[in-house]
Amino acid sequence: MLSNYAVWQYRRAKSRMDMTLDILKSMRARKSPASKITELAEIICQTIRAVEQSQALAAGKKYRPINSSTLLRPDGKYRPLLDAYLIELRMHAGDLESAVVDPIARRMIVSKNISIADLTCKLDRAHKKIELQNKRFENKMWPAAAVNFDVDGMARAANVLFDMLISTELFKFDEQTGDVVFVTRARKVAISRQDIATFTNWRKARLANLSSEDLVS
């Protein structure tokens, strides 16, 4: 059978956990910012202290306030909740890397961000070459056959890179705006429609031609 002290400890721990979950839920609903985990821990502790102090006064008991370090213990039960909240905020802001504390996970995110940046640069270079060659063709600077071959080749390469970029599931092509956006609630623009218009127009025309060929066959 549990002692009275053990029962009291259990009830206090459960009460603090319930309050922590409620506070985080309320902060999510209000989209309350917290730039650092220490700041978040202190915000939660202020509410817990106020509630517990009021309860202690009503019961005529002494109150020993909770310290924010309790919520920050790496092996504690509160820390994962705080980490999850900050990671969620950074994801919505398109800045996941700065919220991750674990060094292995951080290196993985950095590596993936570098790969994505590399793909984005390659896609941008391919798009600019297509645009340049189209302008040269319009100005009749190159023979039509040679230009068409180069444009189609570069466009196909850009198409592969574009598909690879979308397959990371960190980006989405917005059919309405024509922008490539981050897959977050903020929907921050990664590549604007102005920068990618030549490629997307080629892609639409290519898909239309393929559809026409399928109908004919």
Contact criterion met (CB below 8 Å) for 151 and 130? yes
Enumerate residues 6+ apart whose C-beta is below 8 A from 180. 165, 166, 171, 172, 173, 174, 189, 190, 191, 196
Contact criterion met (CB below 8 Å) for 71 and 78? yes
Q: Residue for token digits 């590549």?
A: 191
Q: How confident is the model at residue 21 (pLDDT cuts 50, 70, 90)?
A: very high
pTM to 2 decimal places: 0.45
Domain-wise residue ranges, the chain: 4-98, 104-216
Compute the half-sphere exposure of residue 57: CA atoms within 13 Å on the CB side of its CA.
7
Contact criterion met (CB below 8 Å) for 120 and 107? no
Burial class (CB in 10 A: 0-12, 13-18, 19+), 149: exposed
- Residue among 168, 174, 203, 171 nearest 190 (CA): 171
Higher-confidence residue: 217 or 20? 20
pLDDT of amino acid 145: 47
Higher-confidence residue: 127 or 51? 51
DSSP secondary structure code for residue 184 in this structure: S
DSSP secondary structure code for residue 36 in this structure: S
Sheet of 180-182: strand order equals 171-173, 180-182, 189-191
Higher-confidence residue: 62 or 93? 62
Q: How confident is the model at residue 119 (pLDDT cuts 50, 70, 90)?
A: low
Task: Specify which of 32-41, 50-59, 77-86, 107-116 reaches the highest per-range mean pLDDT.
Answer: 50-59
pLDDT of amino acid 80: 87
pLDDT of amino acid 15: 92
- Residue among 22, 28, 20 nearest 185 (CA): 28
Contact criterion met (CB below 8 Å) for 173 and 190? no
DSSP secondary structure code for residue 101 in this structure: -
Backbone angles phi, psi at 172, to 5 degrees: -145, 140
Task: Specify which of 60-74, 83-97, 155-169, 189-203 reaches the highest per-range mean pLDDT.
Answer: 60-74
